[in-house]
Amino acid sequence: MFNKLISYFKSGPYATPLTDVGIIKRLYEHKRWSVYLSLIFGYGFFYTCRLSLSVAKKHMVDDGILSVEQLGFIGAALFYVYAIGKFTNGFLADRANIRRFMSMALLLSAVANLLFGLTNGFWIFLALWGLNGWFQSIGSAPSVVSLCQWFSNNERGTRYGIWAGAHNIGEGLTFIGTSVLVASLGWRFGFLGPGLVCVVVAFILFKTLADRPQTYGLPPVNEYRNDDSAGKPSSKSTGALQLQVLKSPIVWTLGLSAALMYVTRYAIHSWGPFYLQTAKNYTVTEAGFLIGVNTMVGLAGAIFSGFLSDKYFNARRNMPTLLYGILLTGSLIAIYYIPPGHYWLDLIAIGGFEFAIGGLIVFLGGLIAVDIMPVRAAGGVKGVIGLFAYIGAGTQDWISGKLIQSGKSVVQGVEIYDFSQAFIFWIGASIASMLLATLVWNTKPKE
């Protein structure tokens, strides 16, 4: 049974190479567009089944379902399992049939959300959200592997940047759409709605994604594009290249930088709606709109990052990474210090945060390391970076929950939360991430 399961998800055998140039070009371009649009569309919807808890938190606390500290532990469960899953599934993705692997993961994540919306009890919530973390972990690395399979080095930065912005689409849909569902129908529909939508999306992905080019009789993408800008392909086995990734101090440094950046990313995405409602008196719909509409600014930040580094910095990512890091830290400080009642200032500050996060997810979340390390180990690279990143995100969630809970007081029967300690933690992580990224400033590709 286990062998059959492995065989089902394994990349297929190479087909007999096609020889007709016209057929190769027609099939290649059709597959490239189908794969690319599917990765953008599909990966975006992964987020609707991940961030639903962020939107529902305040209602669950108000209804007495869970405490803030319990929500922190549940959020951490997803991130810790996600971190381990990113590492494991990243290495598996280098050998997987991406069409089957990714679509099945989204389907199972949707089922976990549906069950979450139909149940009660802290331990059941904890188990389901941890399980959801495993299925969610199969979204990113297979996407990057597929991008490397179908797009060559000299076009990958721009393509990667646009794809990486796909999460902003999912985040925007979650924060706005799910907020409306929660406000209108209650917290349970914050999970049932995304679950039902993602069941449909999973079946679409099964039809539109693809295995690697050679399984269709097509040549490797670097040959098809006549692109040798990444250097001569390594003759080592996939396993040897993945071991090279594991031993690389550069990848570990970038992983630590990504971990600290993800502390700040999920500080706002996990606790931002709660912060805006409790500290700045926004409604759940207003808070969801403030963050949700700005995730589109994050999309612009992601798209611009790849284009900027490809076009103006000769595919070098160091200076753009530093600039985005400075913007991230400044935006976090502004979000904290802007007093309640200044909607447009909040909108601008959160917009700056989202723009910066969009670009840093591209650079620190994978592109710098993917550029440096062998392409055939791209899944392993994303696995290692993802392990670090989501350990950071998970640690943030439970530490933030404790810091926010410790700042709680009751004044005339009204619960008041002091977020000062949490923001010191978040801003410090942003600064440390930026400093770590400068340590790999002049690193060049290894392949």
The rounded distance, in Å, linking the Cα atoms of 279 and 186 is 22
**pLDDT score recorded for residue 84:** 86
**For 47-165, where are the alpha helices, taking DSSP H only?**
52-62, 68-93, 98-116, 122-136, 140-150, 153-164
Q: What percent of the chain has pLDDT over 70?
A: 88
Is the pLDDT at 132 greater than 90? The verdict is yes
Query: The tokens of 48 are what?
Result: 């609707």
Please give the pLDDT value at position 236.
Answer: 66
Question: Binning pLDDT at 50, 70 and 90, where does residue 387 land?
Answer: confident
422 vs 152, higher pLDDT: 422
Indicate if the pLDDT at residue 447 is higher than 60. no
- Note the pTM of the prediction, 2 decimals: 0.73
**Could you give the CA distance from residue 377 to residue 243 in angstroms, rounded to a whole number?**
9
Q: What are phi and psi of 409, to 5 degrees?
A: -145, 160
**Residue that wins the pLDDT comparison between 215 and 140:** 215
Q: Which residue has the higher pLDDT, 79 or 334?
A: 334
193-202, 264-273, 429-438: the lowest-pLDDT one: 264-273
Per the CB < 8 A criterion, the answer to whether 257 and 263 are in contact is: no
Long-range contacts of 114-122 (CB under 8 A, 24+ apart): 114/191, 114/192, 114/195, 114/196, 116/191, 116/195, 117/188, 117/189, 117/190, 117/191, 117/192, 117/195, 118/188, 118/192, 120/65, 122/66, 122/70, 122/74
pLDDT given at position 222: 82
pLDDT at 233: 55
Q: Is 15 left (phi over 0), alpha (psi -120 to 50) or beta?
A: beta
Burial 245-277 (b: 16+ CB within 10 A, else e): beebebbbbbbbbbbbbbbbbbbbbbbbbbbbb
What integer pLDDT is reported at residue 180 of this predicted model?
A: 87
Whole-angstrom Cα distance, residue 447 to residue 439?
Answer: 20
Which carries the bigger pLDDT value, residue 371 or residue 70? 70
> How far, in Å, are 6, 8, 102 from residue 1 at the CA level?
9, 11, 20
CA dist., res. 373 & res. 319, Å (int)? 20
In order of their start, the domains of the chain are 26-224+238-440 (1.20.1250.20)
Using the predicted structure, report yes or no on whether residue 443 has a pLDDT greater than 80: no
Q: Are 271 and 123 in contact (CB under 8 A)?
A: no
Structure token digits, residue 16: 């007999």
pLDDT at 232 over 60: no
Segment (H or E) for 416:
strand 414-417
Residue 329 to residues 125, 423, 424, 426, Cα–Cα distance (Å)? 33, 11, 11, 9
Say which range, 1-5, 8-12, 65-69, 319-323, has the weakest mean pLDDT.
Answer: 1-5
State the Rg of the chain over Cα.
Answer: 21
User: In angstroms, rounded to a whole number, what is the distance separating the alpha carbons of residues 111 and 109?
Assistant: 5
Which DSSP category does 409 fall into?
A: E
Instruction: Note the pLDDT of residue 237.
Output: 67
Highest-confidence segment of 60-64, 122-126, 254-258: 122-126
Tokens of 431: 């600064």
What is the pLDDT confidence band of residue 389, given thresholds at 50, 70 and 90? confident
pLDDT band at 241 (very low <50, low <70, confident <90, very high): confident
Of 157-161, 167-171, 227-231, minimum mean pLDDT range: 227-231
Most confident of 188-202, 225-239, 414-428: 188-202
How far is the C-alpha of 101 from the C-alpha of 9, rounded, in Å?
Answer: 6
Q: What is the mean pLDDT of the chain?
A: 83
pLDDT of residue 163 exceeding 70: yes
Instruction: For residue 73, give both structure tokens.
Output: 């532990």
Tokens 């990966």, located at residue: 43
Pair of tokens at residue 23: 């057929």
| E strand or H helix at 324 | helix 318-337
Which pLDDT band holds residue 349 (cuts at 50, 70, 90)? very high
User: What type of residue is 139?
Assistant: G
The pLDDT value given to residue 428: 95
Alpha carbons 110 and 196: distance in angstroms, whole number: 7
DSSP state of 375: G
Mean pLDDT lowest for which of 25-39, 170-184, 223-237, 418-432? 223-237
